[in-house]
Amino acid sequence: MIQLQIEHQHKQKRVLFISNGHGEDLNACEVLKALRRKYPDVDTIALPIVGDGNAYRRADVAIATPTKALPSGGFAYMSLRKQIEDFQSGLISLTWQQIQAARTCSKTCDFVFATGDVVPALFAYLTGLPYAMFLVSSSGFYENRYIPRWLQALMMRSPRCQQILTRDAYSAELIRQRGYQNTSFVGYPIMDVLEPTGRDLSLVPDVPAIALLTGSRLPEAAENLVLQLRLCVAIAQEFAPHPIQFRAALVPSLMSQLSELAAKSGWEYADGKLYQTDLDISVICFSDAFADILQQCNLAIGMAGTAVEQAVGLGKPVIQIMGNGPQFSYRFAEAQERLLGLSVQTIGKESATPKILQEAAICIKRTLGDRDYLERCKQNGLERVGAKGGSERLADAIAMKL
Protein backbone atom coordinates (compact mmCIF):
# COMPACT_ATOMS: atom_id res chain seq x y z
CA MET A 1 0.00 0.00 0.00
CA ILE A 2 2.82 2.38 0.97
CA GLN A 3 4.62 1.43 -2.27
CA LEU A 4 1.49 2.36 -4.26
CA GLN A 5 1.26 5.77 -2.59
CA ILE A 6 4.91 6.54 -3.35
CA GLU A 7 4.42 5.57 -7.00
CA HIS A 8 1.35 7.77 -7.20
CA GLN A 9 3.23 10.73 -5.70
CA HIS A 10 5.97 10.35 -8.31
CA LYS A 11 3.66 9.89 -11.29
CA GLN A 12 4.85 12.35 -13.92
CA LYS A 13 2.34 15.16 -14.44
CA ARG A 14 1.29 15.83 -18.03
CA VAL A 15 -0.17 19.03 -19.50
CA LEU A 16 -2.16 19.16 -22.75
CA PHE A 17 -1.74 22.43 -24.69
CA ILE A 18 -4.67 23.26 -27.00
CA SER A 19 -4.59 26.27 -29.36
CA ASN A 20 -6.29 27.42 -32.56
CA GLY A 21 -4.24 29.53 -34.95
CA HIS A 22 -0.77 30.81 -35.84
CA GLY A 23 -0.50 33.47 -33.10
CA GLU A 24 -2.22 31.21 -30.55
CA ASP A 25 0.20 28.34 -31.27
CA LEU A 26 3.14 30.74 -30.94
CA ASN A 27 1.92 31.96 -27.52
CA ALA A 28 1.08 28.49 -26.21
CA CYS A 29 4.38 27.05 -27.44
CA GLU A 30 6.41 29.72 -25.63
CA VAL A 31 4.59 28.84 -22.39
CA LEU A 32 5.18 25.12 -23.06
CA LYS A 33 8.92 25.71 -23.61
CA ALA A 34 9.15 27.78 -20.40
CA LEU A 35 7.32 24.99 -18.51
CA ARG A 36 9.78 22.40 -19.87
CA ARG A 37 12.79 24.55 -18.92
CA LYS A 38 11.64 25.39 -15.41
CA TYR A 39 9.78 22.18 -14.53
CA PRO A 40 11.61 19.39 -16.40
CA ASP A 41 9.62 16.67 -14.60
CA VAL A 42 6.36 17.89 -16.26
CA ASP A 43 5.47 16.17 -19.55
CA THR A 44 3.72 18.06 -22.38
CA ILE A 45 1.65 17.26 -25.48
CA ALA A 46 -0.05 19.62 -27.97
CA LEU A 47 -3.33 19.70 -29.85
CA PRO A 48 -3.28 22.48 -32.51
CA ILE A 49 -6.82 22.87 -33.92
CA VAL A 50 -6.04 25.19 -36.86
CA GLY A 51 -3.21 24.75 -39.36
CA ASP A 52 -0.18 22.46 -39.22
CA GLY A 53 0.98 23.25 -35.68
CA ASN A 54 4.42 24.25 -36.97
CA ALA A 55 5.37 26.19 -33.82
CA TYR A 56 5.02 22.96 -31.81
CA ARG A 57 6.78 20.86 -34.47
CA ARG A 58 9.77 23.23 -34.45
CA ALA A 59 9.98 22.83 -30.66
CA ASP A 60 9.85 19.04 -31.05
CA VAL A 61 6.59 18.69 -29.12
CA ALA A 62 4.45 15.55 -29.45
CA ILE A 63 1.24 16.34 -31.36
CA ALA A 64 -1.90 14.46 -30.34
CA THR A 65 -4.05 14.95 -33.43
CA PRO A 66 -4.03 14.92 -37.24
CA THR A 67 -3.44 18.49 -38.50
CA LYS A 68 -4.47 20.15 -41.74
CA ALA A 69 -4.09 23.67 -43.15
CA LEU A 70 -7.60 24.67 -44.30
CA PRO A 71 -8.26 27.30 -47.03
CA SER A 72 -9.33 30.01 -44.55
CA GLY A 73 -6.11 29.70 -42.52
CA GLY A 74 -8.27 30.10 -39.42
CA PHE A 75 -9.99 33.25 -40.68
CA ALA A 76 -13.26 31.53 -41.66
CA TYR A 77 -15.24 34.10 -39.64
CA MET A 78 -14.19 36.74 -42.18
CA SER A 79 -16.45 35.35 -44.95
CA LEU A 80 -19.09 32.77 -45.77
CA ARG A 81 -17.12 31.66 -48.84
CA LYS A 82 -14.14 30.77 -46.66
CA GLN A 83 -16.43 28.77 -44.36
CA ILE A 84 -17.81 26.81 -47.32
CA GLU A 85 -14.27 26.12 -48.63
CA ASP A 86 -13.26 24.83 -45.18
CA PHE A 87 -16.25 22.45 -45.07
CA GLN A 88 -15.42 21.17 -48.57
CA SER A 89 -11.82 20.54 -47.46
CA GLY A 90 -12.91 18.17 -44.69
CA LEU A 91 -13.43 20.47 -41.69
CA ILE A 92 -16.10 18.24 -40.11
CA SER A 93 -14.12 14.98 -40.17
CA LEU A 94 -10.99 16.84 -39.00
CA THR A 95 -12.89 18.38 -36.06
CA TRP A 96 -14.30 14.96 -35.13
CA GLN A 97 -10.79 13.42 -35.15
CA GLN A 98 -9.55 16.31 -32.99
CA ILE A 99 -12.35 15.84 -30.43
CA GLN A 100 -11.51 12.12 -30.27
CA ALA A 101 -7.83 13.00 -29.76
CA ALA A 102 -8.72 15.40 -26.92
CA ARG A 103 -10.83 12.68 -25.24
CA THR A 104 -7.95 10.18 -25.59
CA CYS A 105 -5.51 12.69 -24.03
CA SER A 106 -7.79 13.00 -21.01
CA LYS A 107 -6.71 9.49 -19.98
CA THR A 108 -3.00 10.40 -19.82
CA CYS A 109 -3.03 14.12 -18.93
CA ASP A 110 -3.61 15.96 -15.65
CA PHE A 111 -4.31 19.51 -16.81
CA VAL A 112 -5.19 21.45 -19.96
CA PHE A 113 -3.88 24.87 -21.02
CA ALA A 114 -6.27 26.26 -23.68
CA THR A 115 -5.01 29.23 -25.71
CA GLY A 116 -7.28 31.25 -27.99
CA ASP A 117 -11.02 31.81 -28.05
CA VAL A 118 -13.99 29.68 -27.04
CA VAL A 119 -13.04 26.74 -29.33
CA PRO A 120 -9.90 25.58 -27.42
CA ALA A 121 -11.83 26.16 -24.17
CA LEU A 122 -14.62 23.90 -25.45
CA PHE A 123 -12.07 21.21 -26.33
CA ALA A 124 -10.53 21.58 -22.85
CA TYR A 125 -13.99 21.21 -21.31
CA LEU A 126 -14.65 18.03 -23.33
CA THR A 127 -11.57 16.34 -21.83
CA GLY A 128 -13.20 16.36 -18.38
CA LEU A 129 -9.90 17.61 -16.89
CA PRO A 130 -9.19 20.78 -14.89
CA TYR A 131 -8.08 23.56 -17.26
CA ALA A 132 -6.81 27.12 -17.62
CA MET A 133 -8.09 29.47 -20.33
CA PHE A 134 -5.58 31.89 -21.83
CA LEU A 135 -7.82 34.40 -23.63
CA VAL A 136 -5.24 35.55 -26.13
CA SER A 137 -7.77 36.22 -28.93
CA SER A 138 -9.87 38.77 -27.05
CA SER A 139 -9.33 41.94 -25.07
CA GLY A 140 -11.33 44.59 -23.24
CA PHE A 141 -9.49 47.19 -25.33
CA TYR A 142 -11.57 46.31 -28.42
CA GLU A 143 -14.78 47.81 -27.01
CA ASN A 144 -13.82 49.15 -23.57
CA ARG A 145 -15.80 46.31 -22.00
CA TYR A 146 -15.60 42.55 -21.70
CA ILE A 147 -18.81 40.56 -22.00
CA PRO A 148 -18.13 36.90 -22.76
CA ARG A 149 -20.64 35.19 -25.05
CA TRP A 150 -22.84 32.55 -23.41
CA LEU A 151 -20.72 29.55 -24.45
CA GLN A 152 -17.48 31.17 -23.32
CA ALA A 153 -19.15 32.25 -20.06
CA LEU A 154 -20.20 28.61 -19.54
CA MET A 155 -16.57 27.46 -19.95
CA MET A 156 -15.36 30.25 -17.63
CA ARG A 157 -17.90 29.37 -14.94
CA SER A 158 -17.17 25.64 -14.91
CA PRO A 159 -15.74 24.42 -11.58
CA ARG A 160 -13.01 22.74 -13.66
CA CYS A 161 -11.87 26.13 -14.99
CA GLN A 162 -9.03 26.74 -12.53
CA GLN A 163 -7.67 29.96 -14.05
CA ILE A 164 -8.65 32.61 -16.56
CA LEU A 165 -5.56 34.35 -17.91
CA THR A 166 -5.70 37.46 -20.12
CA ARG A 167 -3.37 39.15 -22.61
CA ASP A 168 -3.48 42.54 -20.79
CA ALA A 169 -4.14 43.87 -17.29
CA TYR A 170 -7.19 45.90 -18.40
CA SER A 171 -9.05 42.78 -19.59
CA ALA A 172 -8.33 40.94 -16.32
CA GLU A 173 -9.77 43.85 -14.35
CA LEU A 174 -12.95 43.95 -16.50
CA ILE A 175 -13.49 40.16 -16.22
CA ARG A 176 -12.99 40.21 -12.44
CA GLN A 177 -15.62 42.97 -12.23
CA ARG A 178 -18.05 40.48 -13.81
CA GLY A 179 -17.49 38.08 -10.92
CA TYR A 180 -14.78 35.77 -12.27
CA GLN A 181 -12.36 36.07 -9.37
CA ASN A 182 -9.89 33.47 -10.70
CA THR A 183 -8.82 35.90 -13.46
CA SER A 184 -5.35 37.42 -13.74
CA PHE A 185 -2.84 38.92 -16.16
CA VAL A 186 0.71 37.64 -15.72
CA GLY A 187 2.17 38.41 -19.17
CA TYR A 188 1.93 38.02 -22.92
CA PRO A 189 4.44 35.51 -24.39
CA ILE A 190 4.87 37.15 -27.82
CA MET A 191 7.32 39.60 -26.22
CA ASP A 192 9.60 36.68 -25.28
CA VAL A 193 10.45 35.72 -28.86
CA LEU A 194 12.22 39.00 -29.61
CA GLU A 195 15.78 38.15 -28.63
CA PRO A 196 17.99 39.87 -31.25
CA THR A 197 20.30 37.53 -33.19
CA GLY A 198 23.01 40.18 -33.58
CA ARG A 199 22.58 40.07 -37.36
CA ASP A 200 24.20 43.06 -39.09
CA LEU A 201 21.41 45.03 -40.75
CA SER A 202 23.87 47.43 -42.46
CA LEU A 203 22.02 50.41 -40.98
CA VAL A 204 23.43 53.90 -41.49
CA PRO A 205 23.59 55.69 -38.10
CA ASP A 206 21.26 58.69 -37.55
CA VAL A 207 19.13 57.91 -40.62
CA PRO A 208 15.51 56.93 -39.80
CA ALA A 209 14.94 53.19 -40.31
CA ILE A 210 11.55 51.82 -41.34
CA ALA A 211 10.57 48.16 -40.92
CA LEU A 212 8.31 46.47 -43.48
CA LEU A 213 6.02 43.84 -41.93
CA THR A 214 4.12 42.04 -44.70
CA GLY A 215 2.47 39.23 -42.73
CA SER A 216 3.31 35.54 -42.97
CA ARG A 217 0.66 34.00 -45.22
CA LEU A 218 1.31 33.63 -48.94
CA PRO A 219 0.18 34.75 -51.48
CA GLU A 220 -1.16 37.68 -49.40
CA ALA A 221 2.26 38.57 -47.95
CA ALA A 222 3.72 38.89 -51.49
CA GLU A 223 0.89 41.23 -52.58
CA ASN A 224 1.38 43.25 -49.38
CA LEU A 225 5.10 43.63 -50.11
CA VAL A 226 4.36 45.00 -53.61
CA LEU A 227 2.13 47.68 -52.03
CA GLN A 228 4.75 48.47 -49.40
CA LEU A 229 7.40 48.94 -52.09
CA ARG A 230 5.16 51.54 -53.73
CA LEU A 231 4.85 53.21 -50.34
CA CYS A 232 8.67 53.20 -49.97
CA VAL A 233 8.89 55.25 -53.19
CA ALA A 234 6.33 57.76 -51.85
CA ILE A 235 8.22 57.97 -48.51
CA ALA A 236 11.60 58.52 -50.20
CA GLN A 237 10.08 61.34 -52.27
CA GLU A 238 8.46 62.86 -49.17
CA PHE A 239 11.77 62.81 -47.23
CA ALA A 240 13.95 64.01 -50.13
CA PRO A 241 16.60 65.33 -50.08
CA HIS A 242 17.09 63.65 -46.65
CA PRO A 243 17.89 59.91 -46.65
CA ILE A 244 15.66 57.17 -45.22
CA GLN A 245 16.34 53.42 -44.97
CA PHE A 246 14.08 50.36 -45.20
CA ARG A 247 14.46 46.81 -43.83
CA ALA A 248 11.91 44.08 -44.62
CA ALA A 249 11.25 41.17 -42.26
CA LEU A 250 9.93 38.41 -44.53
CA VAL A 251 9.02 34.75 -44.18
CA PRO A 252 11.55 32.44 -45.94
CA SER A 253 8.99 31.35 -48.56
CA LEU A 254 8.62 34.99 -49.67
CA MET A 255 12.40 35.52 -49.92
CA SER A 256 12.53 32.91 -52.68
CA GLN A 257 10.04 34.92 -54.78
CA LEU A 258 11.84 38.27 -54.62
CA SER A 259 13.49 38.32 -58.05
CA GLU A 260 10.23 37.65 -59.94
CA LEU A 261 8.35 40.02 -57.62
CA ALA A 262 10.94 42.75 -58.33
CA ALA A 263 10.64 42.21 -62.09
CA LYS A 264 6.85 42.59 -61.94
CA SER A 265 7.05 45.73 -59.77
CA GLY A 266 9.69 47.70 -61.66
CA TRP A 267 12.41 47.04 -59.05
CA GLU A 268 15.69 45.15 -59.32
CA TYR A 269 16.86 42.40 -57.00
CA ALA A 270 20.26 41.05 -56.00
CA ASP A 271 21.71 39.47 -52.84
CA GLY A 272 18.77 40.11 -50.54
CA LYS A 273 18.33 43.69 -51.73
CA LEU A 274 15.46 45.24 -53.71
CA TYR A 275 16.45 48.52 -55.28
CA GLN A 276 15.59 51.26 -57.80
CA THR A 277 18.82 52.83 -59.03
CA ASP A 278 17.24 55.90 -60.64
CA LEU A 279 15.43 56.84 -57.40
CA ASP A 280 18.31 55.76 -55.13
CA ILE A 281 16.02 53.61 -52.93
CA SER A 282 16.82 50.19 -51.57
CA VAL A 283 14.99 47.73 -49.30
CA ILE A 284 17.23 45.13 -47.65
CA CYS A 285 15.28 41.93 -46.94
CA PHE A 286 15.86 39.34 -44.22
CA SER A 287 14.09 36.12 -43.26
CA ASP A 288 16.12 35.55 -40.09
CA ALA A 289 16.41 38.95 -38.40
CA PHE A 290 12.83 39.78 -37.40
CA ALA A 291 13.67 40.73 -33.79
CA ASP A 292 16.75 42.75 -34.84
CA ILE A 293 14.72 44.73 -37.39
CA LEU A 294 11.91 45.45 -34.90
CA GLN A 295 14.31 46.49 -32.13
CA GLN A 296 16.36 48.80 -34.36
CA CYS A 297 13.69 50.44 -36.52
CA ASN A 298 12.14 53.81 -35.70
CA LEU A 299 8.74 52.96 -37.22
CA ALA A 300 7.02 49.97 -38.82
CA ILE A 301 4.70 49.71 -41.81
CA GLY A 302 2.42 46.90 -40.71
CA MET A 303 0.15 44.59 -42.67
CA ALA A 304 0.28 41.77 -40.13
CA GLY A 305 -1.25 40.60 -36.87
CA THR A 306 1.17 39.37 -34.22
CA ALA A 307 4.17 41.23 -35.71
CA VAL A 308 2.34 44.57 -35.33
CA GLU A 309 1.52 43.76 -31.70
CA GLN A 310 5.20 42.99 -31.08
CA ALA A 311 6.28 46.28 -32.69
CA VAL A 312 3.81 48.16 -30.46
CA GLY A 313 5.05 46.22 -27.40
CA LEU A 314 8.57 47.49 -28.16
CA GLY A 315 7.27 51.06 -28.17
CA LYS A 316 7.37 51.56 -31.95
CA PRO A 317 4.76 53.55 -33.93
CA VAL A 318 3.01 51.52 -36.66
CA ILE A 319 1.40 52.79 -39.87
CA GLN A 320 -1.12 50.39 -41.44
CA ILE A 321 -2.27 50.38 -45.06
CA MET A 322 -4.78 48.00 -46.65
CA GLY A 323 -4.13 45.21 -49.11
CA ASN A 324 -6.64 42.85 -50.72
CA GLY A 325 -6.84 40.44 -47.78
CA PRO A 326 -8.06 37.91 -46.82
CA GLN A 327 -6.45 38.52 -43.42
CA PHE A 328 -5.35 42.11 -43.52
CA SER A 329 -8.64 43.77 -44.43
CA TYR A 330 -9.91 47.10 -43.11
CA ARG A 331 -12.03 45.22 -40.57
CA PHE A 332 -8.92 43.49 -39.20
CA ALA A 333 -6.79 46.66 -39.24
CA GLU A 334 -9.46 48.75 -37.53
CA ALA A 335 -9.90 46.11 -34.79
CA GLN A 336 -6.13 46.07 -34.33
CA GLU A 337 -6.11 49.86 -33.96
CA ARG A 338 -8.69 49.61 -31.15
CA LEU A 339 -6.69 46.84 -29.50
CA LEU A 340 -3.32 48.59 -29.65
CA GLY A 341 -4.37 52.20 -29.13
CA LEU A 342 -2.44 55.33 -30.06
CA SER A 343 0.66 53.48 -31.38
CA VAL A 344 -1.21 52.40 -34.53
CA GLN A 345 -2.44 54.70 -37.31
CA THR A 346 -4.46 53.23 -40.20
CA ILE A 347 -4.44 55.12 -43.51
CA GLY A 348 -7.32 54.51 -45.90
CA LYS A 349 -10.22 52.06 -45.77
CA GLU A 350 -9.56 50.19 -49.02
CA SER A 351 -6.64 48.61 -50.86
CA ALA A 352 -4.08 51.41 -51.02
CA THR A 353 -4.36 53.76 -54.01
CA PRO A 354 -1.57 56.22 -55.02
CA LYS A 355 -3.47 58.93 -53.08
CA ILE A 356 -3.61 56.76 -49.92
CA LEU A 357 0.11 55.92 -50.27
CA GLN A 358 0.88 59.64 -50.54
CA GLU A 359 -1.16 60.28 -47.39
CA ALA A 360 0.66 57.44 -45.57
CA ALA A 361 4.07 58.88 -46.57
CA ILE A 362 3.09 62.31 -45.18
CA CYS A 363 1.84 60.66 -41.97
CA ILE A 364 5.13 58.74 -41.56
CA LYS A 365 7.20 61.91 -41.93
CA ARG A 366 5.01 63.75 -39.43
CA THR A 367 5.11 60.82 -36.96
CA LEU A 368 8.90 60.50 -37.00
CA GLY A 369 9.20 64.20 -36.26
CA ASP A 370 6.84 64.14 -33.25
CA ARG A 371 9.01 63.47 -30.19
CA ASP A 372 6.17 63.73 -27.72
CA TYR A 373 4.10 61.15 -29.63
CA LEU A 374 7.08 58.75 -29.92
CA GLU A 375 7.50 58.90 -26.11
CA ARG A 376 3.79 58.12 -25.62
CA CYS A 377 4.17 55.07 -27.89
CA LYS A 378 6.70 53.60 -25.44
CA GLN A 379 4.31 53.93 -22.49
CA ASN A 380 1.36 52.69 -24.56
CA GLY A 381 3.32 49.57 -25.59
CA LEU A 382 3.77 48.54 -21.96
CA GLU A 383 0.07 49.09 -21.18
CA ARG A 384 -1.34 47.33 -24.26
CA VAL A 385 1.14 44.48 -24.76
CA GLY A 386 3.36 44.29 -21.68
CA ALA A 387 7.01 43.55 -21.00
CA LYS A 388 8.90 40.33 -21.63
CA GLY A 389 8.86 37.39 -19.18
CA GLY A 390 5.21 36.40 -19.67
CA SER A 391 5.97 32.83 -20.77
CA GLU A 392 7.74 31.96 -17.55
CA ARG A 393 5.07 33.56 -15.37
CA LEU A 394 2.36 31.62 -17.24
CA ALA A 395 4.38 28.41 -16.78
CA ASP A 396 4.50 29.15 -13.03
CA ALA A 397 0.72 29.65 -13.04
CA ILE A 398 0.25 26.18 -14.60
CA ALA A 399 2.74 24.53 -12.21
CA MET A 400 0.80 25.91 -9.23
CA LYS A 401 -2.25 23.91 -10.36
CA LEU A 402 -0.49 20.59 -10.88
CATH number of the domain encompassing residue 46? 3.40.50.2000
Structural domain contains residue 202? no
Q: What is the mean pLDDT of residues 305-317?
A: 95
Q: In what order do the strands lie in the sheet with 111-115?
A: 43-48, 14-19, 111-115, 131-135, 161-166, 183-184
Structural domain contains residue 162? yes
Structural domain contains residue 121? yes
Quote the domain boundaries for residue 332.
Answer: 209-384
Written as one letter, the residue type at 354 is P
Co-location of 118 and 247 in the same domain: no
Co-location of 215 and 338 in the same domain: yes
Is the pLDDT at 293 greater than 90, yes or no?
yes
What confidence tens digit (pLDDT) does each residue in 170-224 have? 999 999 999 999 999 999 999 999 999 999 999 999 999 999 999 988 899 999 9
Q: Residue 97 has what pLDDT?
A: 79
Q: Residue 5 has what pLDDT?
A: 42
SS3 state at 61: coil
Co-location of 218 and 340 in the same domain: yes
Q: Taking phi first (over 0 means left), then psi (-120 to 50 degrees means alpha), and beta for anything else, what does residue 39 get? A: beta
Q: Are residues 308 and 224 in contact, defined by beta-carbon separation less than 8 angstroms?
A: no
Structural domain contains residue 259? yes
More confident residue, 224 or 105: 224
Structural domain contains residue 157? yes
Between CA 354 and CA 115 the distance in angstroms is: 40
State the burial class of residue 241 (Cβ atoms within 10 Å of its Cβ: 0-12, 13-18, 19+): exposed
Q: Are residues 131 and 160 in contact, defined by beta-carbon separation less than 8 angstroms?
A: yes
Co-location of 44 and 151 in the same domain: yes
pTM recorded for the entire structure: 0.85
Co-location of 262 and 297 in the same domain: yes
Co-location of 140 and 286 in the same domain: no
What confidence tens digit (pLDDT) does each residue in 337-376 have? 999 999 999 999 998 999 999 999 999 999 999 999 999 9
Co-location of 170 and 36 in the same domain: yes
Between CA 201 and CA 292 the distance in angstroms is: 8
Residue 91 pLDDT class (50, 70, 90 cuts): low
Is the pLDDT at 389 greater than 50, yes or no?
yes
Q: In what order do the strands lie in the sheet with 318-322?
A: 268-270, 273-276, 281-286, 245-249, 209-213, 299-302, 318-322, 344-351
Co-location of 53 and 89 in the same domain: yes
Q: Residue 134 has what pLDDT?
A: 98
Structural domain contains residue 218? yes
Q: How far is CA 120 from the centre of its chain?
A: 17
Between CA 165 and CA 58 the distance in angstroms is: 25
Structural domains counted in the chain: 2
Is the pLDDT at 232 greater than 70, yes or no?
yes
Residue 1 pLDDT class (50, 70, 90 cuts): very low
Q: Residue 3 has what pLDDT?
A: 43
Name the residue among 151, 97, 148, 103 with its Cα closest to residue 123. 103
Q: What is the mean pLDDT of residues 1-23?
A: 69
Q: In Å, what is the CA distance from 149 to each residue of 27, 117, 156, 221?
A: 23, 11, 10, 33
Between CA 313 and CA 343 the distance in angstroms is: 9
Q: Are residues 159 and 123 in contact, defined by beta-carbon separation less than 8 angstroms?
A: no
Sign of CA dihedral 341, 352, 211, 220: positive
Co-location of 69 and 180 in the same domain: yes
Written as one letter, the residue type at 152 is Q
Structural domain contains residue 194? no
Q: Residue 189 has what pLDDT?
A: 95
Is the pLDDT at 52 greater than 70, yes or no?
yes
Co-location of 263 and 329 in the same domain: yes
Q: What is the mean pLDDT of the chain?
A: 89
State the burial class of residue 35 (Cβ atoms within 10 Å of its Cβ: 0-12, 13-18, 19+): buried
Name the residue among 110, 91, 100 with its Cα closest to residue 47. 100
Written as one letter, the residue type at 290 is F
Is the pLDDT at 325 greater than 90, yes or no?
no
More confident residue, 375 or 73: 375
Residue 102 pLDDT class (50, 70, 90 cuts): confident
Co-location of 38 and 152 in the same domain: yes
Co-location of 153 and 238 in the same domain: no
Q: Residue 6 has what pLDDT?
A: 41
CB proximity list for 105: less than 8 A, separation 6 or greater: 16, 45, 47, 64, 127
Structural domain contains residue 328? yes
**DSSP one-letter code for 274:** E
